[in-house]
Amino acid sequence: VLLELPWRATGAGMAAAVARVADRGFGVLIAHPERTPLLRDNEDLVRTLVDGGAWCCLNAASLTDRAGRQTRNAARRLLAAGLIHVIASDAHDTAGRRPELRSSLDAAGFSLAQIAYFTDEGPRAMLDGLIPEPPPTVGARRRLRPPWGPR
């Protein structure tokens, strides 16, 4: 079940609701927690949800200068805390919100192993109903590298 929280969500009962969905045999994937104020500003709540069986999917654009500073910082904090399992493009079409995944991860300085985990291994484990391997370490650094820079 893809869970995208309302912009003005409150935390009341959220962990219990996610647990009830999981108890019914469904996996829960939380969409872009770095963009939702409640989760962006409350790493402990994100950890509670993940510890309760939820997965978290980061929006790749949140790692680039297309996102605001709060969103970029939250994305890096959640990655550094090991709370992100999947990174996706959040594409809606081929013009306004294109499926730009690899260029965003390259610009953010991700290694090939990190890219493989967040775009293939993590999503595959989720779809197969497996407990994910711990995500690779991603530092909380804030400076973005241009995609044409040295590796």
Mean pLDDT of 95-118: 84
pLDDT at 64 over 60: yes
Mean pLDDT of the chain: 82
Q: Sign of the C-alpha dihedral, residues 74, 75, 79, 80?
A: negative
Entry pTM: 0.82
Spatial CA neighbour of 47 closest among 76, 84, 75: 84
Residue 56: helix, strand or coil by DSSP? strand
Flag the least confident range among 80-84, 90-94, 99-103.
Answer: 90-94
For position 92, what pLDDT does the model report?
73
Tell me the per-residue pLDDT of 96-106, one tens digit each, with 9 for 90 and over: 766 778 888 98
d(CA 46, CA 61): 20
Q: At what angle do helices 69-80 and 43-51 cross, to 10 degrees?
A: 40
For position 74, what pLDDT does the model report?
94
Question: Which amino acid is present at 7?
Answer: W
Contacts 24+ apart (CB under 8 A), 8-13: 8/37, 9/36, 9/37, 9/38, 10/38, 11/38, 11/42, 11/45
